[in-house]
Amino acid sequence: MNKILLPLFAAATLLVGCVHNSTESALEVGSNQVELRQIQSRAFDTTDKSKTMRTVISTLQDLGFVIDKADLELGTVTATKLDGYALRMSVSVRPRNAKQLVIRANAQYQEQAVTDPAPYQAFFTSLSKGMFLAAQNVD
């Protein structure tokens, strides 16, 4: 009996560890803010904001996203992909210096922030193909 109860009790205890005050989510910041920004950002050698945003939009469409919102002035695009899961992503385009734009993307998968570098790397690889420009890391 104990052999069954013990693992169940252990599972329950560990899962309770996952519980936290849910309102804290509103102000949560990933483990390392600077690192997260680097993972989510790339610089491109162009200053054409409008063309860059149109490329971001068509790349998102190529990836199966449906656009939710787009704002040229603010430089933001938000889109959602539904494929048995919900993946929502915001992409912002801002001038970095006189010759470059910086593109930052952040994604949430189901109800979690995506903090793993690999999906962002895949996104910027897809975007580079559309931009005909290399994505450069941002320090």
Q: In whole angstroms, what is the distance from residue 29 CA to residue 17 CA?
A: 19
Q: Is the dihedral of CA 39, 75, 53, 65 positive or negative?
A: positive
* 133 in contact with another protein (CB under 8 A): no
For another protein, the closer of residues 43 and 89 by Cβ is 89
Contact yes or no for 103/44 (Cβ under 8 A): yes
Q: Which of 15, 27, 29, 98 binds another protein (CB under 8 A)?
A: 15
* 48 in contact with another protein (CB under 8 A): no
Q: How many residues bind another protein (CB under 8 A)?
A: 48
DSSP state of 22: G
For another protein, the closer of residues 38 and 126 by Cβ is 126
* 83 in contact with another protein (CB under 8 A): yes
